A and B are shown apart, each in its own frame.
Chain A
Amino acid sequence: MFIKKLPDTIQKLEILSRGAKYDVSCASSGVQRKVSTGGIGSTLSGGLCHSWSSDGRCISLLKTLQTNYCHNNCAYCINRCKNSIERTIVAPEELAKITYEFYRRNYIEGLFLSSGIFHNPDRTMELMLDTVKILRKKYKFNGYIHMKILPGADDNAIEQAILWADRISINVEFSTSSSFDLLAPQKNLRQIINTMKKINSIREKLIVFSKEKGYCARSGQSTQMIIGATPETDRQILKLSEYLYKKIQLKRVYYSAYVPVNQDSFLPQFIKPPLLREHRLYQADWLIRFYEFSLDELLTENNPSLSEDFDPKVSWALNHLDFFPVELMQADLYQLLRVPGIGPISARRILCLRKRGVIDLETLKRLGVVIKRAVYFVTIGGKYFGDVKMDYSLLLEKLSKCNSTREIVGDLFHRELQPI
């Protein structure tokens, strides 16, 4: 094959994956599919990690751009047209071949394909679609494909992308229009949200129409927001997430701590990426999606930032001590999920087990409950097991000790997290 002789394949992939790595989405989950006849590849509903890079993030998909040429000049982006960096473009056939060869060696679960905007969005989308179609048709590739929709792409391109990919995404990046005006004047918030809505409705139509067949972006739509480059509060960010989950049925919103790649007067310089803040946002996001918390319970207009010292569930509990203790032998699911240290799985296990007899601390531990946090907020058969009284300042001291030691910041991109 032509590909072997080209040392510049290495160079190209180096340039293009460097341009793509700031997109933090990496999931390969959401669809379970067997191999097609005569083809290669399957997907697992829980996704699969194939390696981890030295920043600790999981590598599941080959994440790359079709090209890093771009006519836009978004201030936060390494590929903006103003930057004088090496530029290149990879031919659809070449990229399809690399993906296929990586896949059969089990390096990856599939392809994550994004791009800068070369000439115009439609022209670029066409190239990306060619790559995806070569993979699907010529290589009969049945693994995972995540495709970006470029801002301004037309309906036809969107429809084609949905038809051939497993997951679709377009990044909203910021939660207020003013940030767009400042940093990405060629894009705007309303337009991106509208595109998301459009993707949603096209996707639903295609799924109904195609019944069992086709890819149809069955694993849904995701997006990403940049954290810390602009003055948005946690509340503003999560407000948008809540809207996207509820109104546009997004599967995932990713939060990406801003890494300063450009010198720009509109952007903070020389900051460390706010990883702890990113971590707290993921935790709050989880509470909203899996723990029946609403945003207004976690953050208010007067108190719009998440605490750095405690995870958002512990913070909530400390400020609502009158809700506790929760009696484990009687509490319903909603009450159990409010207890720090009890997650959705352990809560359901408790409900199933207590019918069979008394629950004790050892059993709770075996069920996966984080005892050292939960113990201050529950009673079992009327008995309280904490070593201090349920008093705000005493608990504050106790919990600040057990909170920080085990938390590993930055691990929430992909895996289900430990019970909060």
Chain B
Amino acid sequence: MNYNLSNRNQFNDADYSLFPSQITQEEIEEQIQKAPDSVKKILQYYLLVDSENKYEEAKFILESFYKNKEIPIEKIKNPIVYKVIKTTRSIRRQIHKLMGLLRFHEVEGGYLYAPFTSDFDVIIPLSLHFAWRFPSERLIIHDIKREKAVFVEEGDLFEVVFHSMLPSETEDETFFQQLWKMYHQNISIQERENKKLQRHNLPIKFQHWLIEFEKQYIQGYLFEDEKLRLFYSQNGNNK
């Protein structure tokens, strides 16, 4: 796929002689992988954002690094660099958060299934984390909003297309969910109750898929959009 630099003046303090003006997205991705850590750290996850200009912006950062030997943080005054750094920071934060917040449901047939939604397209880094952590489990990780799913088996990732409904949850699953919900309520110290702090750490948007908050989302008022609600009414009401 060819990529044209449409809006040049935005990027006017870089030198374009280093990369040809027609450079493919794949080539940019390759360049990112080859870049030193200080640049890679900023750009590697940046491409997970849904933004039209992301390749252009990535290219800009790569070029100003190779030309002036400036690591991105040193150019934080530049609006593009700042935007990229800031966005990457939120993407990393969200990946980290979701690593803790995905909930796997054991379904018949020996699979563990985890649905989630997120602001960025983070299913691959998330799946890698769980592939490393649970190498002997068979996992299905499902980004509901983007309608993408990944199947993980023995550390390998495969793309999944759903043709049928998921199998139902196992008997064990019901039991451990019940046990976990009890634990979650029980561990709170009443005298210290602080819902504001809880929401600060665990914004409502993350609570949808947590079984310990289920009661709230079954009532329906927390759903961001119709798609989510629909998905849940089709697939989730067997609980």
- Segment at the B interface, from A54-62, A115-123, A154-162: A54-62
Q: Is B124 an interface residue (CB 8 A)?
A: no
Provide the residues of chain A in CB contact with B195, threshold 8 Å.
54, 56
- Segment at the B interface, from A33-41, A80-88, A322-330: A33-41
B100 pairs with A49, CB closer than 8 A = yes
Provide the residues of chain B in CB contact with A259, threshold 8 Å.
189, 191-192
Q: Is B36 an interface residue (CB 8 A)?
A: no
Provide the residues of chain B in CB contact with A13, threshold 8 Å.
179, 182-183
CB-based A-B contact count at 8 angstroms: 154
Q: Is B146 an interface residue (CB 8 A)?
A: no
Q: Is B194 an interface residue (CB 8 A)?
A: yes
B183 pairs with A17, CB closer than 8 A = yes
Q: Is B238 an interface residue (CB 8 A)?
A: no
Q: Is B103 an interface residue (CB 8 A)?
A: yes
Per-residue contact bits, chain A 98-136, to B (CB 8 Å; 1 contact, 0 not) = 100110111101000000000000000000000000000
Q: Is B77 an interface residue (CB 8 A)?
A: yes
Provide the residues of chain A in CB contact with B96, threshold 8 Å.
46, 48
Provide the residues of chain B in CB contact with A35, threshold 8 Å.
132-135
Which one of B114, B189, B202 contacts A22 once the chains associate, using CB atoms below 8 Å? B189
Q: Given A53-B188, A55-B188, does the pair A353, B73 have CB atoms closer than 8 Å?
A: yes
Q: Is A14 an interface residue (CB 8 A)?
A: yes
Q: Is B74 an interface residue (CB 8 A)?
A: yes
Q: Is A268 an interface residue (CB 8 A)?
A: no
Provide the residues of chain A in CB contact with B143, threshold 8 Å.
none
Which one of B104, B134, B172, B198 contacts A54 once the chains associate, using CB atoms below 8 Å? B198
Within 8 A of B (CB), among A40-71: 40-42, 46, 48-60, 62-63
How distant is the Cα of A106 from the Cα of B136 in the complex, in angstroms?
14
Q: Is A211 an interface residue (CB 8 A)?
A: no
Which one of B104, B133, B182 contacts A14 once the chains associate, using CB atoms below 8 Å? B182
CB distance from A94 to the nearest CB of B (A): 11
Per-residue contact bits, chain A 282-294, to B (CB 8 Å; 1 contact, 0 not) = 0000000000000
Per-residue contact bits, chain A 352-369, to B (CB 8 Å; 1 contact, 0 not) = 110011000011001100
Provide the residues of chain A in CB contact with B101, threshold 8 Å.
50-51
Which one of A40, A59, A273, A411 contacts B187 once the chains associate, using CB atoms below 8 Å? A59
Which one of A9, A63, A107 contacts B180 once the chains associate, using CB atoms below 8 Å? A107
Q: Is A389 an interface residue (CB 8 A)?
A: no
Within 8 A of A (CB), among B51-75: 70, 73-74
A105 pairs with B194, CB closer than 8 A = no
How distant is the Cα of A75 from the Cα of B235 in the complex, in angstroms?
51
A18 (CB) vs chain B CBs: closest residue: B186
Q: Is B193 an interface residue (CB 8 A)?
A: yes
Q: Given A51-B202, A58-B201, A62-B183, does the pair A105, B112 have CB atoms closer than 8 Å?
A: yes
Q: Is B105 an interface residue (CB 8 A)?
A: yes
B188 pairs with A4, CB closer than 8 A = no
B103 pairs with A104, CB closer than 8 A = no
Provide the residues of chain A in CB contact with B175, threshold 8 Å.
4
B172 pairs with A411, CB closer than 8 A = no
Q: Is A272 an interface residue (CB 8 A)?
A: yes
Provide the residues of chain B in CB contact with A49, threshold 8 Å.
97, 100, 201
Q: Is A408 an interface residue (CB 8 A)?
A: yes
B179 pairs with A55, CB closer than 8 A = no
Which one of B134, B184, B191, B192 contacts A51 once the chains associate, using CB atoms below 8 Å? B184
Provide the residues of chain B in CB contact with A366, threshold 8 Å.
76-77, 82
A104 pairs with B137, CB closer than 8 A = yes
Provide the residues of chain A in CB contact with B188, threshold 8 Å.
21, 53-55, 57
Q: SS class of chain B's interface: helix, strand, loop or mixed?
A: helix
How distant is the Cα of A381 from the Cα of B148 in the complex, in angstroms?
52
How distant is the Cα of A273 from the Cα of B186 in the complex, in angstroms?
19
B103 pairs with A55, CB closer than 8 A = no
B137, B186, B187, B191 interface centre (most CB from chain A within 10 Å):
B187
Q: Given A106-B104, A275-B192, does the pair A55, B198 have CB atoms closer than 8 Å?
A: yes
Q: Is B18 an interface residue (CB 8 A)?
A: no
B197 pairs with A411, CB closer than 8 A = yes
Provide the residues of chain B in CB contact with A102, threshold 8 Å.
176, 179-180
Which one of A60, A273, A349, A367 contacts B192 once the chains associate, using CB atoms below 8 Å? A273
A356 pairs with B70, CB closer than 8 A = yes
Within 8 A of A (CB), among B126-185: 130, 132-137, 171-172, 175-176, 178-180, 182-185
B82, B101, B176, B189 interface centre (most CB from chain A within 10 Å):
B189
B182 pairs with A10, CB closer than 8 A = yes
Per-residue contact bits, chain A 265-277, to B (CB 8 Å; 1 contact, 0 not) = 0000000110100
CB distance from B116 to the nearest CB of A (A): 11
Q: Given A10-B182, A35-B135, A52-B202, does the pair A356, B192 have CB atoms closer than 8 Å?
A: no
Q: Given A10-B178, A105-B176, does the pair A17, B187 have CB atoms closer than 8 Å?
A: yes
A42 (CB) vs chain B CBs: closest residue: B133
CB distance from B117 to the nearest CB of A (A): 16
How distant is the Cα of A55 from the Cα of B180 in the complex, in angstroms?
17
How distant is the Cα of A222 from the Cα of B102 in the complex, in angstroms?
29
Q: Is A386 an interface residue (CB 8 A)?
A: no
How distant is the Cα of A367 from the Cα of B99 in the complex, in angstroms?
26
How distant is the Cα of A147 from the Cα of B196 in the complex, in angstroms?
31
| 12 sampled A-B residue pairs with Cβ under 8 A | A17-B183, A40-B134, A55-B188, A56-B192, A58-B201, A102-B179, A106-B104, A107-B103, A349-B73, A363-B76, A367-B76, A410-B197
Nearest first, the 4 closest Cβ-Cβ pairs linking A and B are A56-B197, A53-B188, A56-B194, A55-B192
